[in-house]
Chains A and B, each alone.
Chain A
Amino acid sequence: MRRIEDILDNAIKRVKNGEEISTVLLACPKELREQLSANLNLIKLGLSLPKRQIPAPARRMFFLQVAPQPKISKLSQFFSVYAMAFTVLLLVVGGTALAAASSVPGEKLFTLKRSFEAAQLKLARNPEERAKLQLTFANSRLQEVNELLAKNDQGQANIAIDALNSQTEQALSNIKEIVANNPSVSKDPGIVSTVKSLATNQAQLVTKVAQSKPADPQIAATTQKTVENLQKLIAASNDQAAVDLPVATIDSTGPITALSGTSITIDKNTFDTDQNTVIKDLSGNTIDFSSLALGDTVEIKGQVKDQKNQAETVTLVSKAPVQNVPAADSKPDTKPKAANPATVAPDSRQIMPDDTIPAQQSQDDTFGGFIPETPAQTGN
């Protein structure tokens, strides 16, 4: 036989779930119904007490986002409204929050951090706030990439770069949407300065990846996308001089897939040569451009200038066997062997030249010069 305490508890649960007292009583022993009826009416009175409305949590994970950032003063300025609260929180919130905030891909807390970010985005009050969050998160992704590169964890670094690219694209897409609806946002110093800072940091990353050893072709390939995003970020900030990009270096090794005029193509990367380019063999002897042939394996070192890959040195590593030399209009089967991480240079074919810009876009600056598709559209 069930105890009165259990019967009452069960009845309370049903009333709390919204069932009518009369219905709930039908399931109770007859001899207890009178007493239970009085009890449940009393409970209903307790449940009816008006609860105080509380402010909706709008800043979920705010602390986690900002705490690990190194430049607190800038952040405080950026989130000036929250500066005081931030200082207090910094003092009172414990180490586990920091642990999640500083987590990187591959660590257990990282996904928690991402899920909290998603929740924070969901709660953003307006598109501007959402865009600022996206930019903040993109900077977090960047920091994670740097940490993983420092740990020499190339597998996770590649995942992190992928996440950075995707986060940057989301941020750009959000800003584009906002500016389309409200061009005055393009003057928002908060967004503009964050875009600039993100562009500068990404440019530094590109350089760092280019310089890192040993080479990882996967990272190099992933970083290609970062370079493309970087161009968009520069365009978005609409002030290239202010971004003051460092020069990105490029280092690529592989069989020549195309030769045209003074340019050499290795897989998807095309390099320009000029009178300053040193072309040599493995012994260091200078050779002519004309002695290079399709299929020859070369190592090219250079810089990214004006969105083009400028070769500084071309070293002929090995000549292509005669029988394997492909026809001039076909690609060799051989994949580039190396793609030093430095293979970060923009594929010239992917940077939209002026003549490929849709006429409508180039004539009509929909976004008030804030987010043009390519630098060519900025009018700068």
Chain B
Amino acid sequence: MSENQAQRPGYKEDQVVAALVKKAKQGEEQAFGELYERYFERIYRFIYFRVNHKEIAEDLTEDVFVKAWSKIKHVKEESFGGWVYQIAKNRIIDYYRQSKETVDITEIENILESDENIIESTNLIIEQKTFLELLKKLTPEQQIIIKLKFIEDLDNSEISELISKSEGSIRVIQHRAIQRLQELLDQHIKLQSSSKSIDNNLSNSKFNAQN
């Protein structure tokens, strides 16, 4: 284990999860029970925001864990989190396929993108509204990564499984997305301040004209 690895935030948590997965793979149900307790709420949230129905979300979540348990031998210790999200994503897709007579494939494929359900948009301050507006100007891939990472609180390994890209690629896309967001924000601020100064100039000249 390198020093950098040991200092990495979340390293200990990853180690604990990996150890639990190892035990679960050997048939220790208690270990799987602990994994279940750790991941249930997160997977439930992930599913809930995509089916928007409490009972269905609960049962799809249960289904995900039953599937995870039955296939636990096939997962790598370090990939468990992402793998469970991947099962959840597939389960949601299955759910839509089974419950709708006609399915819009693109709608299903974009299952990761929707954020309208996740954000409490009525209570946003102006900066947060700006953030969401600027987010829409990123590429679809960048948007998904930023949403999963900062709005849904997933980590790189989980995102990596969900969108089938390496963790290295996720870091690169994330960096580019943040730089792009930063540029857009700077432009936005500049635009705002220049329009503000125009407004100020206008109101000053009106004031001068009146006097």
Using a CB–CB distance below 8 Å, which chain A residues touch chain B?
4-6, 8-10, 12-14, 16-17, 38-39, 42-43, 45-55, 57-64, 82, 85, 88-89, 91-94, 96-97, 99-100, 108-109, 111-112, 115-116, 118-119
Contacts and interface: CB of A to CB of B under 8 A. Distances in A.
A46 B150 contact: yes
Interface residues of B, number: 62
A42 B36 CA distance: 33
B178 A89 contact: no
24 contacts: A8-B171, A10-B9, A12-B149, A39-B179, A46-B146, A46-B150, A52-B119, A52-B120, A54-B48, A57-B57, A59-B58, A60-B40, A60-B61, A62-B58, A63-B59, A85-B56, A89-B56, A92-B95, A96-B66, A111-B33, A112-B33, A112-B65, A116-B65, A119-B40
A175 B149 CA distance: 46
B123 interface: yes
A85 B55 contact: yes
A118 B99 CA distance: 30
Interface in B3-58: 8-10, 27, 29-30, 32-33, 36-37, 40-41, 44-45, 48-49, 54-58
A17 B119 contact: no
B69 A109 contact: yes
Nearest to A38: B182
Contacts, number: 159
Given A43-B178, A115-B32, A97 B59 contact: yes
B128 A48 contact: yes
A50 B9 contact: no
Contacts of A51: 118-120, 151
A100 B119 CA distance: 35
A13 B63 CA distance: 30
A148 to B, nearest CB: 19
B63 A94 contact: yes
Contact of A115 (B33, B151, B171): B33
